[in-house]
Structure 1
């Protein structure tokens, strides 16, 4: 989770780049969060972004919000909607959760500290995760194989490991995770590369360590996912929500 606090004058302008997970952003307070998605559509307020949402930009003045990234294995249970429905881009949290979205915003606004806000968010997600549909064990096994292999797996071999046909795996995986296995593998590999770029490693080294054919291949993948070059991505601390990427930020807190 990460907390954005924009009470000081000026705009908060942060990228929400493709990530191998489902992103939930709950805004609260008096500011207004504006979201521009990869297709050029614009919406306001809290949001849910799936694995296939593309590059998204959050901006606003004096905004406050909590961002949580969910494993796609639990996102369907927590959100109450199949991840495949998120392939249209970014959805309004009000459309997904209804009145509960307004209630959590009010509780976050009244919380006395960021620690309390993170605890409230975690408790809400845990409660919602207790009920609802579960991911098929075969789909979960394939997802874990992709993550463990940093995206460098032979997708053609995964169906054989589950005992399913390729067509059945592709259909069930996409409906429950939100993207086909090959797209999921590309996202996992891209995310690993983005973290290393944010940590200051050279594009040449990142390309070699993350399994890209060469630096040009890495450049094309980063550009396709983000519309940024590897150099631009490395210089943007909001590109990856982790301890490395967020270190030294003057606006925002993380947990």
Structure 2
């Protein structure tokens, strides 16, 4: 075994001793609404800092232990502590700090699934972190108790999926027009023009943006930006240092446009992220 291999093994062992993370794809019955579920538990009193880039995930976190410190587009302050919460879409980096005592289940919703599950305009969650009690009321409190009493991650995931499925079964269907427009943006990699979507629906761009923001939490233009950014981020793993090519592939005007978007949505330049 080489020194480098030994060092990697030591690092893996060190990380495994600090926290436990179990991730599972959502049941097929929740397809299109939930992407996956994650169980997370910290086992050593070590402070950590993580930055998450702009994404199309709407997380619901149910905590049984210490809260996280969360800052949208900045480092969190003393009043930015959240235990169980839902977070809407945010077109920028999110800074998350933990302090060694966290334990939680996270359910990751798609924007369409989140609208149906929470049963409220997603614009009410945009750029916000909202407490569990405020978004789910007494149902949320009961869910937290059940999850905290479960014996293992598998049991917790089953409870969470059952809870989500029951709420979705009672929820109103998403507007067919908005669902169609959303899928057009996703399917095109964020390259479909808003004016084309509006024309297809027979709506004005202003009406489309208003309806879209209410249902999804952000307008179609911002959605397109996040989709393009995440595609560029994915391509960068295989096209190292070819930022001009990535910019062209993802529909940016030029490489400078890509750099500006990375600064806005990740808080870093492409080179720094790579």
TM-score interval (norm. to shorter) = 0.7 to 0.9
TM-score by length of 1: 0.81
> Does the aligned pair in 2 maintain the 1:27–1:33 contact within 8 Å?
no
| Structure of greater Rg | 2
Residue in structure 1 matched with residue 53 of structure 2 by the alignment:
17
Matched, 1:49 2:49: no
Deviations 1:155-200 (A, max 9, x none): 1100111122333222211111111111111111112223334x45
1:1-255 equivalence runs, <5 A: 1-28=37-64, 30-38=65-73, 42-52=80-90, 54-60=92-98, 61-197=100-236, 199=237, 201-203=239-241, 204=243, 205-234=245-274
Q: Deviations over 1:199-255 (max 9, x none)?
A: 454252533332223333222111101212224434xxxxxxxxxxxxxxxxxxxxx
SS in structure 2 at match of 1:129:
helix
Runs (4+) off by over 4 Å: none
RMSD: 2.2
Once residues 127 and 43 of structure 1 are traced to their aligned partners in structure 2, the CA distance between those partners, rounded to angstroms, is: 30
Structure number with higher relative contact order (C-alpha < 8 Å, ≥ 6 residues apart): 1
- Separation in 2, partners of 1:64, 1:219: 36
The size of the alignment, in residue pairs, is 232
Is there any run of 5+ residues in structure 1 with no aligned partner, and where? Answer: 235-255
Q: Say if 1:84 and 1:176, in contact at 8 Å, map to a contact too.
A: yes
- CA offsets, 1:3-32, max 9 Å, x none? 32212341343333321232222222x333
